[in-house]
Structure 1
Amino acid sequence: MSEPAILPTDLARTAIDPHAYAEWDGLLDTFDHIRSTMPVAKIVPEDPDLFEPFWLITAYDDVMRISKDNATFLNNPKPVVFSLKQAIEFSRKATGSNMLVDSLVVFDAPIHPKYRKLTQDWFMPRNLKRIEAEIRDLAARTVDRMIGLGPQVDFVKEVAGPYPLRVVMQILGVPPEDEPRMQMLTQQLFGGQDADLSGTGMENMTPEQVVQLVAGAVKSFEGYFAELAEKRRANPTDDVASVIANALVDGEPLPPRDMAGYYIIVATAGHDTTSASTAGAMMALANDPEQFARVKADRSLLPGIVEEAIRWTSPVQHFMRTAAKDVEVGGQQIKAGDWMMINYVAANHDPAQFADPRRFDAARSPNRHLAFGAGAHQCLGLHLARLEMRILFEALLDRIEAVEPAGEAKRATSTFVGGLKSLPLKITPA
């Protein structure tokens, strides 16, 4: 049997360095090189106490295969997000689990399909029509506010961040006065590696500090949603919070930790990822006046704008899987119990699947990207994300004559959920 393909140290560092994900073009250069030479490569830490060795998967076909085969490639028993051993140990001591939050993305069958089914109908297009008018009203008010602040605005701060946050908070029944708290906790949960987003003021946090910051955010989330669940059990409404609070699985209510995880994944994933895709689309259009004019004149291109933005930005940048049995992937022998990183950034920029993948093309077809995942764990809120983005861009295109960069766009320092954290634009109203 041939020796496993071990990724050279310098390339391995890039794959797990949060700062590398803030330097987008350099990151894509690295993934292009890895994909063309070692599409399935093992990353072995220089210090064995730092993290467990794992396989990095960068080719589209391999990532798609792993995403769809949930029997061979498990979300448990190891962490579903790349984690240092120190962080895993902290989580085990604090919660008894490898992850600080046990949510839908953590569970495998038979638990996962039972939990997913609880809210799946709520997020289907036919049900989302009930809230479409509210989303349109919010989009219009968001664009009005942006224009009132102009002509120069930070699009992330004023539009891409608050708009999807308000949508998901309405769905959960969280009042507007609590939204700043939800935003702060989400940034600490997903942006703990970025000093600007975490709000710590520390430029170089230690791994222990990052874990403690995230743990504090999780505890705050759990306390908030425990109170919300109690209210919804006493007085149910038609929001998602009521569905979760009163759900029964095999005749029993959700355990408190699982219920908290359900609330947290809806609250956080429901806006941070949509925010990143929305900002990415706007940056692409600001840098390409010809494409902006084409979409403004032909609104049939809007679904393409949305889909391409989600591929191009790939807000969820990776997930981890654990092999349930010995299996071959990309010519490499993966052993039962091996840890694997399926990297969506690399897969969504694979030229074997996407011609000229770094180009933002609203007319790209087909566009079978993996930004929502695939198979049983495909993003529960994908229809909501598409609806939110389409409605917002309809409002933007109605009210804006032109848009152009007004400064340097900056990306978040994060290996897990990433995207733009700042996007200065000059807006010309219609």
Structure 2
Amino acid sequence: MPKPCRCRSEPQIPEEAMSTTTSLSDGSGSSTSTTVNSPSTVRTARTLALLPINATFDHGCSRPRPWTYDPAVANPLRPSPDRPALDLLDGDFYVNDPYPTYAWMRDHEPFYWDEVNELWGVSRYDDIIKVERDKFRFTNSGNEKGGYRPNIPADASIIALDDPHHTVRRNLVSRRFTPRAAGNWEDHVRGVVTGLLDVLAENGEAEVISQLAAPLPAQMIGLLLGFPHESWPQLKEWSERTIALGGGPRYHDEDGVMAVFEFAEACMNVYESTKSERSGGGCPVDTVMDVWVDREVEGLADYPFGLDEIISDCLLLLDGGAETTRTVIARTLVELTRYPDQFQALVDGADPVVATEEFIRWVTPIHNMCRVATEDIEIGGVTVGAGEQVLLMYSSANRDPAQFADPESFDVTRDPNHHLAFGNGTHFCLGAALARLEIRVFFEEFSRRFRNPRLAPGTEPVEMPNAFVYGLREAHLVVDPA
């Protein structure tokens, strides 16, 4: 297991994370006084929640939008009396069995024009692959309306960049997320999981999210970013409060914006502590913050790289690393109460690597990502106009019968399983290997130690309606010892 440096002073996580006054509206006409002391804090928060969607925001790949383009004229709909009028950014849609609707979209309108949000919903597996691999005509940086998230201008993080800039930035930290690098953490991960399951064994029951699913990924992302160990509960809270912002402007609230400010301030403290240690001759620690601090001094060729970019990438790793893994663990625990035969297959020795891929496919923790067309593009029988966003619907692609045999069955022995839960192409999820490790180890230990998992009597899981992440707010699990 990688060892932390003991000579480094630990950065302090602030109780109050601001120092220059900025006003935020709560939507009622009143405003709340908040303070910030970094341009990157302001930039990140404005990008995620405060910047109006029609503001100017140029990342170098913007294209003038051809306002004469009319999707309804360019793409007359096929006659269908059953055509649903969909709002693809409605969180309730995703928690109320969207799978029959996905099937309709794949069969009838695989590129579905969502009039409410003015974007295309892409539902077929093969079409999503085509879009993600066409990285120069479908970009992440987007334009003044939106980038990799729907109707939200792109921020300064890695995922918001296009190649070659994207690959240059990604390569700074990519070796810390390879399968080999993730494997170095296995003993540590197993130790954390053992501690979590010890509490479950003692009590015979647990709240799934707070006690089982969330602590492990929050601790791991804290270690990678260089936060002190005891800060993981705060990291967990920040990830829970910020992740919903990715659903689009309708999910932006004051609490989420405040969480961005607070987390950014904490990141600046870690950054300053790391920078001080490095300049003072302190021993290096192999965290991504150390890598970033070193690179800031050296520069990044012709590309900007400083505190703005570091804080944006910290937020990306927090939400990508903490929330997605916890969602797969939490929802899989619930699903195993509904499919006892699949839990028994785990107990009987089903390959945990194969099973992990099915957990990820079945849950698909991130509903979608966006790309923006840089020119008019003929694809899937439609014309996607320059400047239009396409919403890549991973949760539909992962139930596509053209790719998966019997896709509506939860089968922990499914192999092969080339799901798209981590995306595809140049923006394939950076932390996929670590997520797979955490999920696999958790369920190896869980299936070894417990039997008959079930929801606590009189309880049902509490959903978190959102157009971005397939999260749960709460679920109560009861188990018997093995």
State TM-score, norm by structure 1. 0.85
Q: How does 1:8-407 map to 2 (within 5 A)?
A: 11-23=84-96, 25=97, 27-45=98-116, 51=117, 53-78=118-143, 79-84=146-151, 88=152, 98-99=153-154, 101-148=155-202, 150-191=203-244, 210-235=252-277, 236-247=284-295, 248-250=299-301, 254-299=305-350, 301-406=351-456, 407=459
Q: Is the 8 A contact 2:148 2:159 kept in 1?
A: no
Structure 2 residues without counterparts, runs of 5 or longer: 1-71, 278-283
CA drift of 1:211 comes to: 4.5
Residue type of the alignment partner of 1:162: P
Instruction: Give 1:410 shift.
Output: 2.9
Secondary structure of residue in 2 paired with 1:372: coil
Question: Aligned-pair distance for 1:181?
Answer: 2.1
Whether the aligned pair in 2 keeps the contact of 1:280 and 1:312 (CA below 8 Å) is no
Deviation at 1:290, TM superposition (A): 2.0
The superposition leaves residues 369-408 of structure 1 with CA deviations (integer Å, 9 ceiling, x where unpaired) of 1000000000000000111111111211221132123231
Shift of 1:347: 1.1
Distance 1:121 1:239 in 2: 11
CA offset at residue 277 of structure 1? 0.9
Moved more, 152-161 or 133-142: 152-161
How far residue 253 of structure 1 moved from its aligned partner, in angstroms, is 7.4
Distance 1:137 1:229, change over 3 A: same
How far has the Cα of 1:77 moved from its partner? Answer: 2.1
Change (3 A) 1:5 1:298: farther
Partner of 1:200: none
Question: What residue ranges of structure 1 are gaps of 5+ in the alignment?
Answer: 46-50, 89-97, 195-205
1:419 aligns with 2:445: no
Distance in 1 separating the partners of 2:244 and 2:120: 24
Return the offset for 1:162: 1.4
Higher gyration radius (CA): 2
**In structure 2, distance between residues paired with 1:221 and 1:265:** 12
Q: CA deviation at 1:147?
A: 1.8
| Contact 2:142 2:148 (C-alpha < 8 Å) held by counterparts | no
Taking only aligned residues, the RMSD between alpha carbons, in angstroms, comes to: 2.5
Inter-partner Cα distance in structure 1 for 2:205 and 2:87: 34
- 8 Å CA contact 1:324–1:337 kept in 2: the answer is yes
What per-residue deviation string (whole Å, max 9, x for no partner) do you get for residues 222-277 of structure 1?
21111111111222412222122222411887222111111111122101001111
**Alpha-carbon contact 1:5-1:40 (below 8 Å) kept:** no
Q: Give, as a single letter, the amino acid of the residue that structure 2 aligns with 1:80.
A: G
Is the CA contact (8 Å cut-off) linking 1:81 and 1:318 kept in structure 2?
no
Against the structure 1 CA distance between its residues 192 and 253, is the aligned structure 2 distance closer, same or farther, given a 3 Å change threshold?
A: closer
Preserved CA contact (<8 Å) 2:74 2:383? no
Rate the CA distance shift 1:327–1:253 in 2: closer, same or farther, 3 A: closer
Alignment match, 1:198: none
**Corresponding residue SS for 2:390:** strand
2:246, 2:468 within 8 Å by CA — same for their partners in 1? no
Say whether residues 1:409 and 2:482 are aligned partners.
Answer: no
Partner of 1:197: none
What is the distance in 1 between the residues matched to 2:346 and 2:292?
A: 39
Task: Please tell me whether the aligned partners of residues 230 and 245 of structure 1 are also in contact (alpha carbons under 8 angstroms).
Answer: no
Identity value in percent: 28
Amino acid at match of 2:180: R
Kept in 1, the 8 Å contact 2:114–2:120? The answer is: yes
Q: Which moved more, 1:312-321 or 1:1-10?
A: 1-10
The answer for the alignment partner of 1:93 in structure 2 is: none
Structure 1: distance between partners of 2:406 and 2:462: 23
TM-score (norm 2): 0.77
- Letter paired with 1:413: P
The aligned amino acid for 1:73 is: F
Which is helix-richer, 1 or 2?
1
Q: Is the 8 A contact 2:365 2:470 kept in 1?
A: yes
Distance 2:398 2:206 in 1: 30
Aligned with 1:171: secondary structure? helix
Q: Is the 8 A contact 1:156 1:423 kept in 2?
A: yes
